[in-house]
Structure 1
Amino acid sequence: MTVKPLSFAKMKPVPIAKRKVESDGMDFAAPYRAGSGFESFLCSLPNLGCAADLFRLRDAIVTAHRHKKQVILACGGHVLESGLGPLICRLIEQRIITGLALTGAALEQDVEIAILGHTVAPSERELNDGRYCLTEETGCLINDAINYGTTENWGIGKSVGKRLLESEFEHLEYSVIATAERYGTPVSVHPAIGADAFGMHPASHGESLGASSFRDFRLLAGMLAECSSGVIVNIASSVVMPRVLLQALDAARNVGKSVGNVTTAIIDPAASSSAITDVIERLTRPDGEGYWLTGPDEIIVPLLFASVLEALGDEVG
């Protein structure tokens, strides 16, 4: 079969005046002038794409804070590996963040930072002999806290938070769990048995781990039940947290809680399609807004909350 090139002689162009405006000149970036301050820097950013979504998310957080609504952060382990713990601690102290939900990996990172002041990586030998996932002090502290906390009917977040505050570690100011416990901010932890190292430590007991994590899931459902007109930001977790958040919100609605007008966001350059669907599409139903900020969390999160604090000014300490 012979195929002839298609003739464009009868092509009908559209006058440019009939095209809708995609981006106005007022939304373009402006040159930043050195020394003009952070507010001027924000004004220099284009009001388009990821930057526009950041501004909208900022406005939602500012509005939620001013109206005493929930602002909940859900974090994977990379958030703390990226050094964002001190920033989150400060936001807890300033009452910007009203609740935290952490993966088991984030819990491990936070405890190791509290103990050492830094994160750790396995040696080549540990990678080869299967010991890379088991850190003695981390596993002991977490599991001892969980095992005791179960007798007090505490969840993982509260159990570990109290244990950290009772310790004499030099770096507690970097721990989001210790800071949250100190300021009375609820923290739920959602481990994945078989994936999180502390669940394989000899001090781990399945009964305690199951009971405490189930209580934390109920705590998260309670947080989301009060999240109408609030904000949920999921950072660097594409598997565990999106599903846990969705199930917790479904549970709240199932028992009769009316939850709506929720602004949700994912900050994750490699978010999965299921995470985007769960967090941005399903959590915002029926009348909320959702955003996917695709930049790295170590840049986007500080920029987002710096813009929030700039907007609030003297309203926060």
Structure 2
Amino acid sequence: MPFEKFDRSRLEIFPLEQRVHDVDISVVKSLDDPVPPFSHPELPAIARDVVAARREHDATVLMMYGAHVIRTGNGLHMIELMKRGLVTHFATNGAGSIHDYELALIGRTCESVAKYISMGQFGLWTETGRLNDIIKEGVRDGLGWGEAVGRYIWEEKLPNREKSVLGMGYHLGVPCTVHIGVGNDIIHEHPNCDGAAMGEASYTDFLIYAQSVTKLEHGVFLNFGSAVAGPEVYLKALAMARNVARQEGRQIAHFTTAVFDLLEIENGDFSAAPPKSDPRYYFRPWKTILARTVADGGVSHYIRGEHQRTVPALARMILELDSAGK
């Protein structure tokens, strides 16, 4: 007997104009806007490695980020790094793509989970659900999730497309990939969600991501606030890239990783993963990004701070250093 499934046709879906938003487009800061101050003694080393990766080695600089990086207004700083060729690949989760799309479309995003889950309305908004059709159209054209959404944002001339990481990635030809978990995102609630298209689109992005990782030798991997998708996708892609490199007599071992998050790591010692008896063992960025994958010759850094402080601080340092070297 087949198990009973939820009937999505019974859902009531409302337009975004009826939703109360917690964030609007004014949160996005330009390179000239004042931003909260932030400093860390390891930031200059990370900035130098990014510039060296691009200007001396033509290596990958990949920035993985959680959705909060977009909703705290860092898009224009990321786009400037993209324009200057200083970050060669951006990667996020499904929620990161949704915030990017909503800000591009209506200049607002972020609903109150507490308010709308009580009403049974959380995530059920018409315009956001259109992302499912955009992804299906992209799959028909052989595109991954990030490029499909970026193409729509750019070619449909959404009002804030020049502040969209995905839209500008499409426009500039820079890969921006989206790595989902089935059932994780609000658009998976909608009747027009096609599981096959969703999986194909994100898996295409995974293969694009893995190809970028093949050029990580002497490169840099940055992870901003992605505690699950970031380290897990990176780990599998690195295994694939190293497998092929080994067959070709190459190494992918000498590169820099940096994690930007809020967990306090005592004494700054993250060269080895904590023991399994320590709850922090399950903080994947530590054991995966900071310890295990750089054990053969890489360098890692941990920067504790809020994204609205750390992203602008690093981006402006990278841009200043690159300009000084020209």
Scaled by the length of structure 2, the TM-score of the pair is: 0.77
> 1:264-286: per-residue Cα shift (whole Å, max 9, x none)?
11111138632211111123231
Judge conservation of contact 1:75–1:241 (CA < 8 Å) in 2: yes
Q: Is the 8 A contact 1:155 1:188 kept in 2?
A: yes
Please name the residue that 1:18 is paired with.
none
Q: Secondary structure at the match of 1:182?
A: helix
Provide the aligned length of Structure 1 versus Structure 2: 268
* DSSP-derived class of the 2:223 partner: strand
- CA change 1:203–1:270 in 2 (3 A) is farther
1:1-317 alignment to 2 at 5 Å?
A: 51-67=40-56, 68-122=58-112, 126-140=116-130, 142-256=131-245, 258-270=251-263, 273-313=283-323
Which residue matches 1:37?
none
Note the C-alpha offset of 1:130. 2.2
Contact 1:72 1:100 in 2 (8 A): yes
In 2: Cα distance, 1:284 partner to 1:260 partner: 7
Q: Write the distance in 1 (CA, Å) between the matches of 2:158 and 2:66.
A: 23
Change (3 A) 1:129 1:215: same
Displacement of 1:147: 0.5
1:89 partner amino acid:
I
CA–CA distance in structure 2, aligned partners of residues 124 and 59 of structure 1: 43
Indicate conservation of the 8 Å contact 1:262/1:283, yes or no: no
Q: Deviations over 1:162-184 (max 9, x none)?
A: 11112131101110000011111
CA radius of gyration, larger in: 1
Letter in 1 for 2:293: L
1:164 and 1:250 map into 2 onto residues whose CA distance is 33
Letter in 2 for 1:169: L
The structure showing larger relative contact order (alpha-carbon pairs under 8 Å, at least 6 residues apart) is 2
Cα separation, 2, equivalents of 1:102 and 1:61? 19
Cα distance in 2 between the residues matched to 1:157 and 1:282: 28
Shift of 1:125: 5.1
Counterpart of 1:260 in structure 2: which amino acid? A
Tell me the secondary structure at the aligned position of residue 119 of structure 1: strand
Counterpart secondary structure, 1:264? strand
Q: Cα distance 1:306–1:125, how it changes in 2: closer, same or farther (>3 A)? A: closer
2:107 touches 2:160 (CA, 8 Å); kept in 1? yes
- RMSD over aligned CA atoms reads 2.0
Q: Compared with structure 1, are the counterparts of its residues 290 and 123 closer, same or farther at alpha carbon in structure 2 (3 Å cutoff)?
A: closer
> Which has the larger displacement, 129-138 or 230-239?
129-138
Identical positions, percent: 29
Extract unaligned runs of 5+ from structure 2.
1-37, 265-279
Is the CA contact (8 Å cut-off) linking 1:149 and 1:159 kept in structure 2? yes
Alpha-carbon distance in structure 1 between the residues aligned to 2:91 and 2:294? 18
Match for 2:122: what amino acid?
Y
SS in 2 for 1:232: strand
One-letter amino acid matched to 2:137:
Y
The 8 Å contact of residues 78 and 315 in structure 2, kept in 1 or not, is answered as: no
Contact 2:81 2:319 in 1 (8 A): no
Q: How far has the Cα of 1:124 moved from its partner? A: 6.0
- 2:7 corresponds to: none
Contact residue 246 and residue 282 of structure 1 kept, 8 A: no
* Contact 2:245-2:252 within 8 A present in 1 as well: no
Change (3 A) 1:255 1:69: closer
Gaps of 5+ in 1: 1-44
* Distance (whole Å) between structure 2 residues aligned to residue 130 and residue 103 of structure 1: 24
* 1:220-246 per-position Cα deviation (integer Å, ceiling 9, x unaligned): 110101111000100011111111111
SS of equivalent residue, structure 2 residue 207: helix
**Partner AA of 2:318 in structure 1:** V
